[in-house]
Amino acid sequence: MNELDIVQFVIERVADLTSRPELAEELNGDSSLEDAGVDSVLLVNLMIQIEQQYDIFFEDDELLQENFATARVISQRILAKRAAITEV
């Protein structure tokens, strides 16, 4: 699991959740997910898919727009959470 794989997973999920398959090709790791049409409801759905895919859990205090602003930001949070799990 590396950052690029996670970024691609997030972008593909965004394209699916927004019913805009073209986003899979248009978005990059630094594209604003809000500008791509991800609202609060879609963000919760995205978060659930991420938690299931990567076997992590986001605490309530982490559920801030800035923590899910781009696929790269999300990827970095996932990698940090996975690193914390493997340290335990």
* Interval 71-79 mean pLDDT: 97
Segments making up each domain of the chain, as ranges: 3-87
Q: What is the pLDDT of residue 88?
A: 62
User: What CATH code would you report for 3-87?
Assistant: 1.10.1200.10
- Helix (H) or strand (E) run with residue 77 in it: helix 71-87
Select from 57, 48, 55 the least CA-distant residue to 1: 55
pLDDT digits (tens, 9 = 90+) for 31-47: 999 999 999 999 999 99
% of residues, the chain, pLDDT over 70: 99
User: What is the residue-averaged pLDDT of the chain?
Assistant: 94
* Interval 3-30 mean pLDDT: 97
Select from 35, 30, 29, 31 the least CA-distant residue to 7: 29
State the pTM of this model: 0.92
Q: What is the pLDDT of residue 15?
A: 97
Look up residue 29 and give its two tokens.
């790791």
Q: How far apart are CA 51 and CA 17, in angstroms?
A: 15
Neighbours of 68 (CB within 10 A): 23
